[in-house]
Amino acid sequence: MRWPWIKKQAQANSAMSVDDQADASSSSILSGDAEQDSRSLEILLDTIAAVTANIDLDNVLSDIVDRSLQVTSAERAILLLGEDPGQLSVRVAQDRDGKSLSGDLQWSKSLVRRCLQEGVAVRSVVQSDQEALELGRSVFDLKLRAVMCAPMRSQDRTVGVIYVDSRAVRREFSARDQALFGAISAQLAISVENARLHADSLEKAKLEKDVEIARRIQQHLLPALPKDDGLDISLRYRAAEQASGDTYDFVPMSGGRYAIMIGDVTGHGVGAALLTHAVQAALRSYLEMIDDVATVVSKINQRLVEGVETGNFMSLILAVVDPAARTLQYVNAGHPGLVVCQQDGARELAKTGMVLGVVGDQEYEASPLIELQHGDVLFAHTDGVDESMSPDREVFGIERLRELVSSLRREGKSADGLLAAVERQVHAHVGSDASEDDFTMIAVKLP
Q: Tell me the per-residue pLDDT of 272-298, one tens digit each, with 9 for 90 and over.
A: 667 777 888 889 889 988 999 999 999
Q: 36 pLDDT band (50/70/90 cuts)?
A: low
What percent of the chain is predicted at pLDDT more than 70? 71
Tell me the whole-structure pTM to 2 decimals: 0.54
Cβ-based neighbours of 405, under 8 Å, separated by 6 or more: 339, 341, 346, 377, 379, 418, 422
Q: Which residue has the higher pLDDT, 430 or 435?
A: 430
pLDDT tens readout for residues 261-272:
999 887 655 666
Angle, helices 34-52/270-287, rounded to nearest 10 degrees: 170
pLDDT at 316 > cutoff 70: yes
- Selected from 1.10.1060.10, 3.60.10.10, 3.40.50.10680, 3.60.40.10, the CATH number assigned to the domain covering 211-445 reads 3.60.40.10
How many other CB atoms sit within 10 Å of the CB of residue 435?
18
pLDDT at 373 > cutoff 90: yes
Backbone angles phi, psi at 368, to 5 degrees: -65, 165
pLDDT at 419 > cutoff 90: yes
Domain 4-198 shares a fold with domain 211-445: no
| Residue 405 CA from chain centroid, whole number | 32
pLDDT at 363 > cutoff 50: yes
Third-level CATH fold of 4-198: Beta-Lactamase (3.30.450)
Backbone angles phi, psi at 186, to 5 degrees: -65, -40
Is the CB of residue 151 less than 8 Å from the CB of residue 84? no
Q: H/E element holding 258?
A: strand 258-265
Alpha-carbon gap, residue 278 to 286, rounded angstroms: 12
For the CA atoms of 400, 404, 410, 411, the dihedral, rounded to the nearest 10 degrees, stands at 150
**pLDDT for residue 134:** 52
pLDDT tens readout for residues 45-66:
776 666 666 666 677 778 878 8
pLDDT tens readout for residues 113-169:
888 888 888 887 665 555 545 555 554 555 667 888 888 887 677 888 888 888 765
Q: Which residue has the higher pLDDT, 185 or 253?
A: 253
**Can you point out the beta strands (E) in 136-229?**
146-154, 157-166
Map out the domains of the chain as residue ranges: 4-198, 211-445
Q: H/E element holding 442?
A: strand 439-445
Integer angstrom CA distances of residue 93 from 48, 106, 324, 360, 414: 20, 11, 52, 31, 56
Q: How much is the CA Rg of the chain, to the nearest whole Å? A: 25
| Residue 144 CA from chain centroid, whole number | 35
Alpha-carbon gap, residue 396 to 273, rounded angstroms: 25
pLDDT at 2 > cutoff 70: no
pLDDT tens readout for residues 325-348:
999 999 999 998 799 999 888 899
Nearest to 157 by CA among 196, 121, 116, 201: 116
**pLDDT for residue 379:** 97
pLDDT at 214 > cutoff 80: no
How many other CB atoms sit within 10 Å of the CB of residue 235?
19
